[in-house]
Structure 1
Amino acid sequence: MLGHQFVTAAAIAASVLFILSLGGLSNQEKAKRAVWYGIVGMALAVVFTMFGPGIGQYWLMIPMMLIGAAIGTVVAKKVEMTEMPQLVAALHSFVGLAAVFVGWNAEMERARVMAMRAAGESLDGLSAFAATLAHKTPAELTFLQVEVVLGVFIGAVTFTGSVIAFGKLAGKMDGKPKQYPGGHWLNAGAAALSLVLAIAYLNGAGFWTLLLIAVLAFFIGWHLIMGIGGADMPVVVSMLNSYSGWAAAAIGFTLSNDLLIVTGALVGSSGAILSYIMCKAMNRKFVNVILGGFGGTSGPAAEIEGEQVAIDAGGVASALNDADSVVIVPGYGMAVAQAQNAVSELVRKLRSSGKNIRFGIHPVAGRLPGHMNVLLAEAKVPYDIVLEMDEINDDLASTDVVIVIGSNDIVNPAAQEDPNSPIAGMPVLRVWEAKQVFVCKRGQGTGYSGIENPLFFKDNTRMFYGDARQSIDALLPLLD
């Protein structure tokens, strides 16, 4: 067993490593080292918590940890990069459910200690957690109850919300927003009833109130995310990340675990900040997104004129051979086709011909922030030619060729031209201003968000249909 001082020192070291990890993830070149900071920090946290004061029942804990580690290893090896968003959502659900279980257990232990006190029974032989409760004052126990309520409510919302987000991101559920009639009032009513039950719980109503609070919160989480459309799913994942952090922090307060408090606060605050940044990038109001369905369109979307004109690999190659400047805009379709290595080879070949090749990355390209950056880094695309939307947008008008690979909403001119579009006002890459635009796309569908794109019908746009990797591979031998 390790002393409390060692556990505290390990918690401080782990917290510092977590902060360094978050800081390093903002830079592609430092990201790999930042991940190792997080791994080492978590290893320290787990080991020193396991062998800290008051911890026992290793015969049960260690086998469960080994089983969990084995499952995690299998999942990590099996999951493709394109499936990372839904994996993140699934992991958020585990944190939320853990918060619910910890809250319920804490209340049962608190009630047990209170009953033993009232009966004048000896408090010897209690579990480590119950023993700490035995030394708390009535005011401290009341504060514990507040922590329990918050943990159960936030955890339950996070659990069902994350399960629905997983289903939508994995394509197992329809990505369109769905709500019961009077949906916002249902959510508000469930939240108000949860508050009433929380007050009753704090005034001694009993464990049943926590059960009902969890049920209501399960409904709120489910109904909230069901009411959010596919176009807003990246923000939802980030928001649920924040929720899971605050749920973990609530668990930390309940268990008097400083490391959980710090870690939960880091995850909660960083997730909230990222959600705000993404909402700004999509011209969404944060409150509107998290409430699901507020705002929206004010009338029918504008009709699209023209037709989608297809082009073959020879036509695209001819345009690339004649071009001096090329911008590539990747999206989720590139990830699905695992075309990043083919794209990297295309870039290498074009640059060897003396052409100016750059990438334009929208803040919410793919299903998670940084999704495209990770894929391009994996394919060894030079960092210095991967530019953010604000860095590349003004240059698109003077660009000879733009190749859009599996993107839809982030290059949709309706965001600026149609006030009734679901994405009206969203900042987008103005690829239609280039001399020629080639869109690499599987078919004529509207894509994940279900929003039609007028770009595909413009006179300077040609549709390069087919699997992205196969299409790019077909281009390579035709280039000078």
Structure 2
Amino acid sequence: MFVEYCVGLSGLVASGLFIYGLKAMSSPVTAVAGIVAAGYGMLFVVAATFLNLFNITPEARPNLLVNVGLGVVALLLGSLWAGWRGRTVQMTSMPQMVAIFNGMGGGSAAALAAVELLGNHDIPLLPLSVTVIGALIGCISLSGSLIAWAKLDGRIRKPFRFSGQRAFNAALFAATVVLAVLTVMRYATPSAELPRDLFFGAALLLGVCMTLPIGGADMPVLISLYNAFTGLAVGLEGYIMNDPALMIAGMVVGSSGTLLTALMAKAMNRSLTNVLFSNFGETGGSSKGPEGEMTAADPADAATTMRYGASVIIVPGYGLAVAQAQQKLYEFVKILVAAGVDVKFAIHPVAGRMPGHMNVLLAEAGVPYDMIYDMEDINDSFATTDAALIIGANDVVNPEALTDKASPIYGMPILNAYKAHQVFVIKRGSGTGYSGVENPLFFQKNCTMVFGDAQAVLSKMVEAVKALGST
């Protein structure tokens, strides 16, 4: 009785810490404390799992030592590898790591369902149906997240599309549902195990086929969606295992992931079905190419202009993360601020490769939170600012989204950087962004390109403004 009381109490405490941790993560100021709190919640759950071994049935005791040993080995390997990767991962690889870790959560839920379905004991219809649904969602999250990881890591460089792909995916989904129903019906005829095995294979394939055609610009939304899938699958399996902590954690992750997915899709002015099935980057019309020529400038000239301006808004993009130049950028910003320049950072909801990517990047460099503004809070300020500095961003500042109905990004809200009196763009080359869409901003008369690696360019800018201070 005492053990059962402790296990139940640990689940309640863990659930409370999970919810508090998620709430705290909504603000950069309290995010670290939230992560630590959620970590303690997970520690309570793991401890309760081992404590619950004292309640094991006599029939299961012969395998107790083996199971405990396997659990300890898995816990040590997972903790060591995840801890090492968490400490050594580069900011450019953070989206890939999030995708792969998220996939492991979905895979775990699918594995729990597989264990239930491989058993020979009778399962009531409702729990059995929930198990199969959890297996379906977990499998999709696992295989889909693995493909997302490959895309983010550059192992799959282009969306994979073919004629009739949507019809094929619809047929595959229908077949998977039929196999799921047959898997539930299998318990009426235990010898028919083939539907169960085919169901898992079809569910994994469905996750792959859903993800392959989705373009790079939709990756932040996709990662958020699979995060919601993983939470939902974990919550369902928690119900099957009668584990309140697992249910609560899964429901919290699933609901927050769903809300974040909706917000991300709204930020792109697209529905979720449009994200999943529209083949982003393909249009029915013909978009006109940009007119004019790009104007290039030396980093020192760009830095000098910003040094003697009254206000600067900085738009960070994935190129900043690739160059690992966030520290050098903040060094440049501190010099501008010391000279009396009003500097702000503008963050687009889908900037980078995952939700919140740019916020994490700037926090890593030590940028104060009160200098960072969301799109809706700063967009009106571009028209009155002296200079906008865009670093490695493309699609989120593309004015074509506002004007060209033939463009695949038409209707997507953007940062109005093009309205600034002067726009400087640090970019390695003149190519397109992640979505493959050309940006006419780079050809405007008020826009100047500063070509080069962001780390090298910002270093030269720092040197230039320091020299101005000594003269």
Match of 1:321? 307
Which deviates more from structure 2 when the two are superposed, residues 459-468 or residues 377-386?
377-386
Q: Deviations over 1:242-271 (max 9, x none)?
A: 111111112212222221111111111111
Query: Is the contact made by 2:134 and 2:237 (CA closer than 8 Å) also made in structure 1?
Result: yes
Match of 2:146? 163
Consecutive aligned runs of 4 or more in structure 1 exceeding 4 Å deviation: none
Match of 1:133? none
Match of 2:251? 265
Alignment of 1:144-223 (within 5 A): 144-174=127-157, 176-204=158-186, 205=189, 206-223=192-209
Match of 1:377? 363
Q: Which AA in structure 2 matches 1:341?
A: Q
Which deviates more from structure 2 when the two are superposed, residues 9-18 or residues 68-77?
68-77
Q: Which AA in structure 2 matches 1:286?
A: L
Alignment counterpart, residue 384 of structure 2, candidates 398, 417, 423: 398
Q: CA deviation at 1:295?
A: 10
Output the aligned Cα RMSD: 1.8
Structure 2 Cα separation of the partners of residues 373 and 198 of structure 1: 41
Query: Is the contact made by 1:241 and 1:271 (CA closer than 8 Å) also made in structure 2?
Result: yes
Structure 2 Cα separation of the partners of residues 466 and 36 of structure 1: 39
Alignment of 1:118-157 (within 5 A): 141-157=124-140
Match of 1:455? 441
Alignment counterpart, residue 71 of structure 1, candidates 81, 85, 103: 81
Cα distance change on mapping 1:179 and 1:399 into 2, 3 Å? same
Number of equivalenced pairs: 452
Cα distance change on mapping 1:310 and 1:108 into 2, 3 Å? same
Q: CA deviation at 1:2?
A: 6.7
Alignment of 1:223-242 (within 5 A): 223-242=209-228
Query: Is the contact made by 1:406 and 1:440 (CA closer than 8 Å) also made in structure 2?
Result: yes
Alignment counterpart, residue 253 of structure 1, candidates 223, 235, 239: 239
Q: Which AA in structure 2 matches 1:65?
A: L
Match of 1:412? 398
TM-score (ref. length: structure 1): 0.91
Match of 1:123? none
Alignment of 1:262-341 (within 5 A): 262-291=248-277, 293=279, 297-341=283-327
Pairing 1:28–2:24 present: no
Match of 2:72? 62
Query: Is the contact made by 1:335 and 1:375 (CA closer than 8 Å) also made in structure 2?
Result: yes
Match of 1:125? none
Q: Which AA in structure 1 matches 2:134?
A: G
The alignment partner of 2:108 has SS state of helix
TM-score (ref. length: structure 2): 0.92
Query: Is the contact made by 2:302 and 2:424 (CA closer than 8 Å) also made in structure 1?
Result: yes
Pairing 1:9–2:9 present: yes
The alignment partner of 2:124 has SS state of helix
Structure 2 regions of 5+ residues with no counterpart? Answer: none
Structure 1 regions of 5+ residues with no counterpart? Answer: 115-139
Which deviates more from structure 2 when the two are superposed, residues 255-264 or residues 404-413?
255-264
Query: Is the contact made by 2:395 and 2:434 (CA closer than 8 Å) also made in structure 1?
Result: no
Q: CA deviation at 1:289?
A: 1.3
Match of 1:438? 424
Pairing 1:367–2:353 present: yes
Q: CA deviation at 1:98?
A: 2.1
Q: CA deviation at 1:100?
A: 2.5
Q: CA deviation at 1:197?
A: 2.1
Alignment of 1:98-117 (within 5 A): 98-109=108-119, 111=120, 113-114=121-122
Q: Deviations over 1:17-57 (max 9, x none)?
A: 11111111111111111111111111111111222133943
Match of 1:350? 336
The alignment partner of 1:8 has SS state of helix
Structure 1 Cα separation of the partners of residues 73 and 143 of structure 2: 28
Identity of matched residues, % = 39
The alignment partner of 1:302 has SS state of coil
Pairing 1:47–2:47 present: yes
